[in-house]
A and B are shown apart, each in its own frame.
Chain A
Amino acid sequence: MDIKLNEDQIEIARQARRFCENESPTEYVRAMFEDERGFTDEIWGKMVEMGWTAMRIPEAHGGLDMDLMDLAVILEEMGRTVVPGPFFSTVLLAAEAIMEAGSGSQKEAYLPGIAEGKIKGTLALHEAEGGGDLGHIEMDARPDGDGFVLNGTKLYVPDAHVADFIVCAARTESENVSAGEGITLFLVDPKAEGVSVSLLPSMDGTRKLCAVEFKEVRIGAEEILGEAGKGWEPLCRVLQRGQVGLCAECLGGAQRAMEIATEYAKVRVQFDQPIGAFQAVKHRCAQMYVEVESARSILYWAAWAQDHGNPEEAVLAASVAKAYCSTVYRNATTSAIQVLGGTGFSWEHDIHLYLKRAKANEVALGDPVYHREQVAQFIVG
């Protein structure tokens, strides 16, 4: 048993913190919050130079073949400064999908480009009637020769407006199949005929969400990611990694929210003393600390389980972690606003950027209600 970051990971974290503070300061985050595209090529290019887009990609495809734990260390730092842009959608959703489900030639076609930062992708999953449930995939994919024709609308697709490709989950069989069967993953070119992408006015402007409509979109056999009808299992593994990645972001953001509140509580004087001397405020800060450190312990378990645990432990840990860490982030930002008082309610203070990311992460890739039900299925049946 050895539950701590190793020296390489500590160094990765140190570099990532310096990078995020220097390259993604508040001014950048706020500008991108308002900007439709949501990131600059300059900052994207610098992340690529740091090797971040290549970390998880196998060496055979031009990557660094590193653990999810290594990437989690970076995601924690990115969460700490609410770094905007399509990093998460490309690296944790699209790339993992190709790594999990793709054929050899599909991997060769996409992974080196992702590693080099030349192409970006995303995952189209949610539909209007699914709510917080990840398993509700009903979009119609009609057989057509050796391919399929897609019709329907995918919602809350992160960064689809800047994606070079979209991994889209749709139903290719609906007769006599259980929920997880009959799902196929497709590689879709957003510029293809019949595909239209529109930005949604999302609360968290640092993570753009889109609606993607499909009208008679013809998909050829070579654009079926993996095997037709067998998409659900690899998709689940992709979602688990994404969930754990989001937990790392949540941890970084929650930790920063706690620091912001605590620093303020030490210097803001009311009734002749710093407000942090009042137990009503002090205990709020202490509770944030309790939850942040707990979230760190759970994240480490969940990330380790993805890299080294057995598959059952990995899926359970991902749901435990996602339910817990996303709630911790929401609690921390809510509490921080209360400690900051009127200042925290202003647009001028950064804390609302954290609150909005917390709310985005809370519902992304399964909300806490969904994940608690996943846990219940595991422990109760």
Chain B
Amino acid sequence: MDFEFTPEQGAFKEEFLSWLKKDLPDDWDPTRYRNLDSTEEWARAHKDFQGRLYEAAYAGLHYPMEYGGQGRTLMEEVIVLQTVATTCVELRMPGVITFGMAAPTIQYCGNEEQKKEFLPKMLDGTHIWCQGFSEPNAGSDVANVSTRAVKDNGHYIVNGQKTWTSFAHMADYCILLVRTDPDAKKHKGLSYLLLDMKLPGVEVRPIIQITGEQDFNELYMEDVRVPVEMLVGNEGDGWRIAITTLMFERVIGDVTMAAVYQKNIERMIEMAKQSKRAGKPVSEDPIFRQQLAQAYIEVMVLKYHGLRNLSHQISGGIPGPEGSIGKLLWSEPNQRITEAAIGMQGPNSQIMGGSPWSVQDGFWQYSFLRSKGNTIEAGTSEIQRNIIGERVLGLPKDITRVARQQ
């Protein structure tokens, strides 16, 4: 058993960190959670940063050379992402769907033309991708997709509505789950398309979330003509592709989140030292000390569980439904941690960023609110526990669900 990087991996980390320090603008403040204000500025900064990573051979380290990657291992990719996560996670964030979902789907399930066409432009920052899975009536029941795609003369004519489409307002392309066969069983009639967001008939409308910001959108499609070459896999494979490809990149998300949270814990400790309760630092209060320690423990659980899975995958293990653990380990603790953090501020927990009385520029107020989405996005906690219960532990499905699927 070994929990350490090899000397080569350690040297690679140092090398990347020094590159990153030189690359970031002089006024970049890693302690601020928002350095970029407008959507346009954010998207541009992300694309520029990704482009510089690509030029410096730090993009897509575990992707093959012929598709713009570096042909190295998942470990080097993780080292880069963890370092980015603790210095400039904001610059990476608009790429979360591009690299977390779209790229692995095309890499594992796309054909040669799709790989050549799309992977290099993801890795070099040309394109941002968004995810069109959820619909107003397909939330946790995501296979209940009703967006239709009808084949017509070399195209799919797509009509329907998607919702909670992350980063659609910045995106150039969308991974789209559509129904191609309305007569097939629910999960069998779905197909997976790659949608150019500039096509006529595509409309994006913002959803303002409880933080007051826009990370998500509604996506409307009216008679959009998508070339048949944009089909991934075969017609009817949509569900299988959507489910299986997610698992490969999940572990990257887990260990990256652990790095982000570890940084957040440092911020939380700093806050606890500066915040006073009855005139004394919160960090000296035994109850809040317990909460700080518990927050740290939960982050260590995410970190070491993620590393164990990463190690398993690098040594050839195939990730399976047990990956749902990672989703639960980053989403639920983040809610507890942010709740504890604003709790340490007493009545000042009400004060958002932008005031001389704001604590850490309102980071914890923002994070508390944003964390409420964590147990809903990317599969609710309930869905994750169903997956673990049914697909890992072998517990039976609910009879009403079984009956409906027959």
Contact = CB atoms under 8 A, between A and B. Distances in A.
Contact of A290 (B4, B328, B382): B328
B109 interface: no
A103 to B, nearest CB: 32
A285 B314 CA distance: 29
A300 B308 CA distance: 9
Contacts of A293: 305, 322, 325
A4 B393 contact: no
B273 A380 contact: yes
Main secondary structure of the interface of A (DSSP, over half): helix
B311 A1 contact: yes
Contacts of B386: 279, 282-283, 286
A278 interface: yes
A373 B396 contact: no
A3 B382 contact: no
B292 interface: yes
B269 to A, nearest CB: 5
Contacts of A130: none
Interface stretch (B15-23, B295-303, B355-363): B295-303
Interface string B277-321: 000000100100110111011001100110110111011000000
Main secondary structure of the interface of B (DSSP, over half): helix
Interface centre among B9, B293, B396 (most CB of A within 10 A): B293
A6 B398 contact: no
B385 A287 contact: yes
Interface string A3-14: 111100000000
Contact of B2 (A3, A272, A276, A380): A3
Contact of A283 (B6, B9, B389): B389
A290 B325 contact: yes
B28 interface: no
B395 A262 contact: yes
Interface residues of B, number: 51
Contacts of A298: 300-301, 304-305
A194 interface: no
B265 interface: yes
A373 B289 contact: yes
Contacts of A371: 293
Contact of B312 (A3, A69, A273): A3
A3 B1 contact: yes
B293 A373 contact: yes
A376 B311 CA distance: 29
Contacts of A369: 290
Contacts of B296: 320, 375, 379
B222 interface: no
A42 interface: no
A198 interface: no
Interface in A254-281: 262, 265-266, 272-274, 276-279, 281
B329 interface: yes
A54 interface: no
9 contacts: A1-B311, A1-B314, A3-B1, A266-B394, A283-B386, A286-B389, A298-B300, A323-B297, A324-B300
Given A3-B3, A277-B397, A372-B289, 11 more contacts: A1-B6, A6-B1, A266-B395, A272-B399, A279-B398, A294-B305, A294-B329, A297-B305, A297-B307, A301-B304, A309-B3
Interface of A: 1-6, 69, 262, 265-266, 272-274, 276-279, 281-283, 285-287, 289-290, 293-294, 296-298, 300-301, 303-305, 308-309, 320, 323-324, 369, 371-376, 379-381
